[in-house]
Amino acid sequence: MLSILCVYWFNAQNTNAQQEEPTVYQVGVAAVDVTPDFPIRLRGYSGRDKESTDVVQKLWAKALMIQSPQRPPALLITLDNCLVPAALREQVAKRLHRRVGLLPDRLSITATHTHSGPILAGMSKTLYCHPLPQKHREHIERYTKELIDKLEQVAIAAFKNPQPAHLAWARSNASFAHNRRTKGGPVDHDLPVMVAKDLAGKLRAVYLSYACHCTTLSHNRISGDWAGYAQESIQRHHPSAIALMSVGCGADSNPVRGEGSQDEVAAIHGREIGAKVARLLQQKLRPLSGPLNVMFSTIDLHLAPLPSRAEWERRAQHDADRGGTVGFHARVHLNRLDRGEPLKTKVPLPVQTWRFGSSLAIVFLGGEVVVDYALRLKQELDAQRVWINSYANDVPCYIPSERVLREGGYEGGGAMTFHDWAAPFRPGLEQKIVDEVHYQLTDRYRRSPDVRNSP
């Protein structure tokens, strides 16, 4: 049991930080229902060709505003959806800067990556093997507009109700992720949890993440998948609190498919996380202290050389009779070339960090990031004080490590077709991403050579 519920404490070099008095932060939290009340195409599986049939579970957007003394506020929004488009984050950031003065760099929006949530406007044009019907496009545009309004609404609600609070965190683990590329391959079972309690000790918010695809479900019904059930389980045990969920570097990890219906299995996974969190909250958590500093940057990841026009024309005929993805993807790009549009040669990827003094650093990586990044960063940095998320602020495509890029396959390059990119990545992207994280966290979070860094 101790191995399951182990709480990681500061190492010797951090004893001074450990002895600091917990900082009193101003914390606001809110939630809003973002479930569509009309049929809509769901994002995640390219084989779907119809709009959703019904709702199994409500979808939510939740906001957590944190402000430390002498620093402007920072805002986290977690969203039950497959992806976060950069354009959506930009619109929300502009509205919140105008309405409440939130600095755009201090906004983070993460997706749970449920494959049973609505597709949003501006997402991959080539996900499906055909242009969307007009009615479907209208529903997508309508939902996206309504969602942006609701994200603004939930953020403002969090800003309107700040209360003094203490923050603390710890790490447990969950067990249902497995590497979908290689049997027995690498996974990240860490389950980091941060809590906000008012000064009387009442629990107000629980924020957590786990590195696993939300693909327990494959039907055409709206649901939050295991992440939605996990949030429900936590709130059922702690009705005074709002549970917010992000996803770690789980692009190459899938949930174990157990016995029973898909929805029953998703609920079991969610209850596992809920039970782990409930037990963890009975332990002594590490208090957070110090100012909340946020950094945000966008780095360019370059693509391999693009196909020639002759190659596009060859691919366009590859499956024209069957309406497959490769041919459709090629025809979309040929149409762009015919219109004189330059094809994109690089992918912008957001990298953001939240640093609570020396007590905790949360990394928010854009894209569908494979597990190698989390495992590497937690080896090179002080794993006892670092939390790694992905699916944050923009999800332009899969982000392979150099290993996965060499191996190829879906995450290594094949998925670029579905995400509407013209080629796989050029080697060198992993070091560029890791270097940016190191730069933002500075030497303060670097691993000490004499510290054991395993979970």
The pLDDT tens digits of the residues spanning 228-244 come to 999 999 999 999 999 99
- In the predicted model, is pLDDT for residue 455 greater than 50? no
The pLDDT tens digits of the residues spanning 295-314 come to 999 999 999 999 999 999 99
What mean pLDDT is predicted for residues 3-17?
A: 36
C-alpha 219/C-alpha 36 separation (Å) is 17
In a domain, 307, yes or no: no
Asked if residues 263 and 423 have their Cβ atoms less than 8 Å apart, the reply is no
Helices (H), 14-85: 15-18
CA 92 to chain centre: 17
CA 212 to chain centre: 10
Amino acid at 290: G
CA 401 to chain centre: 17
- Which strand (E) or helix (H) includes residue 42? strand 42-43
Query: Locate tokens 């809509």: which residue?
Result: 40
Name the DSSP class of 446: B
In a domain, 419, yes or no: no
Query: Phi/psi of residue 5, each to 5°?
Result: -110, 25
The pLDDT tens digits of the residues spanning 331-362 come to 999 999 999 999 999 999 999 999 999 999 99
User: How does residue 20 score in pLDDT terms, banded at 50, 70 and 90?
Assistant: low
Q: Long-range CB contacts (< 8 A, 24+ apart) of 327-334?
A: 327/129, 328/126, 328/128, 328/129, 328/130, 329/126, 329/417, 329/420, 332/125, 332/126, 332/420, 333/422, 334/309
The pLDDT tens digits of the residues spanning 118-130 come to 999 987 677 777 7
Residue 264: its pLDDT value, please?
A: 96
How many Cα atoms sit within 13 Å of 386 on the Cβ side?
28
Encoded tokens for 171: 């790490």
Structural domain boundaries, residue 263: 12-297+348-401+430-444
Query: Phi/psi of residue 297, each to 5°?
Result: -145, 165
pLDDT, mean over the chain: 92
- In the predicted model, is pLDDT for residue 165 greater than 90? yes
Strand partners, 293: 355
Least confident of 63-67, 107-111, 313-317: 313-317
Residue 26: its pLDDT value, please?
A: 98
C-alpha 136/C-alpha 48 separation (Å) is 12
pTM, full prediction: 0.93
C-alpha 20/C-alpha 288 separation (Å) is 9
The pLDDT tens digits of the residues spanning 60-71 come to 999 999 999 999
**Count of domains observed in the chain:** 1
In a domain, 153, yes or no: yes
In a domain, 331, yes or no: no
Query: Locate tokens 């990298």: which residue?
Result: 351
Residue 450: its pLDDT value, please?
A: 54
The pLDDT tens digits of the residues spanning 236-283 come to 999 999 999 999 999 999 999 878 899 999 999 999 999 999 999 999
- In the predicted model, is pLDDT for residue 3 greater than 50? no
Query: Phi/psi of residue 241, each to 5°?
Result: -115, 155
Residue 184: its pLDDT value, please?
A: 94
In a domain, 282, yes or no: yes
CA 30 to chain centre: 19
In a domain, 322, yes or no: no
What mean pLDDT is predicted for residues 386-415?
A: 97
Residue 78: its pLDDT value, please?
A: 98
In a domain, 156, yes or no: yes
- In the predicted model, is pLDDT for residue 37 greater than 80? yes
In a domain, 254, yes or no: yes
C-alpha 273/C-alpha 281 separation (Å) is 12
Residue 198: its pLDDT value, please?
A: 97
- In the predicted model, is pLDDT for residue 407 greater than 90? yes
Residue 273: its pLDDT value, please?
A: 98
- In the predicted model, is pLDDT for residue 321 greater than 60? no
- In the predicted model, is pLDDT for residue 286 greater than 80? yes
Burial class of 267 by CB neighbour count within 10 A (0 to 12, 13 to 18, 19+):
buried
Amino acid at 168: A
pLDDT over 90 percentage in the chain:
84
Amino acid at 88: L
Name the DSSP class of 39: -
- In the predicted model, is pLDDT for residue 4 greater than 70? no
Asked if residues 172 and 4 have their Cβ atoms less than 8 Å apart, the reply is yes
User: How does residue 452 score in pLDDT terms, banded at 50, 70 and 90?
Assistant: low
C-alpha 7/C-alpha 362 separation (Å) is 17
Encoded tokens for 185: 């391959």
Asked if residues 81 and 117 have their Cβ atoms less than 8 Å apart, the reply is yes
Query: Phi/psi of residue 174, each to 5°?
Result: -120, 175
Structure-model confidence comparison of residues 206 and 418, the more confident one? 206
3-state SS class at 144: helix
- In the predicted model, is pLDDT for residue 14 greater than 60? no
